[in-house]
Amino acid sequence: MCGRYEYHPHEFSDLRIRFNLDKDLPEFKPSYNIAPGQQVPVIIREEGRNKMKLMRWGLVPSWAPDPSIGNRMINARCETLTEKPSFKQLLGTHRCLIPADGFYEWRREGKGKVPMRIVMKDRQLFNFAGLWDVWRGDPEGGELYTFTIITTNANALLRPIHNRMPVIVDSLATNHWLHPGDISSSMLSILLQPFPSELMDAYEVSRLVNDPRNDSAACIAPADWQSPGPLFD
Count of alpha carbons within 13 angstroms of residue 180, beta-carbon side: 12
Q: Are 139 and 230 in contact (CB under 8 A)?
A: no
Catalytic residue among 6, 78, 105, 219: 105
Dihedral class, residue 106 (left if φ above 0, else alpha if ψ from -120 to 50, else beta): beta
Distance separating alpha carbons of residues 123 and 165, to the nearest angstrom? 18
Q: Is 96 a catalytic residue?
A: no
Catalytic residue among 2, 78, 96, 219: 2
Q: Which helix or strand (DSSP H or E) is residue 50 part of? A: strand 49-57
**Residue 33 DSSP code:** E
Distance separating alpha carbons of residues 105 and 182, to the nearest angstrom? 32
What percentage of the chain's residues is helix, strand, coil (to nearest 5)?
20, 35, 45
Distance separating alpha carbons of residues 13 and 175, to the nearest angstrom? 18
Q: Is 6 a catalytic residue?
A: no
Q: Are 73 and 148 in contact (CB under 8 A)?
A: yes
Residues with catalytic roles: 2, 105
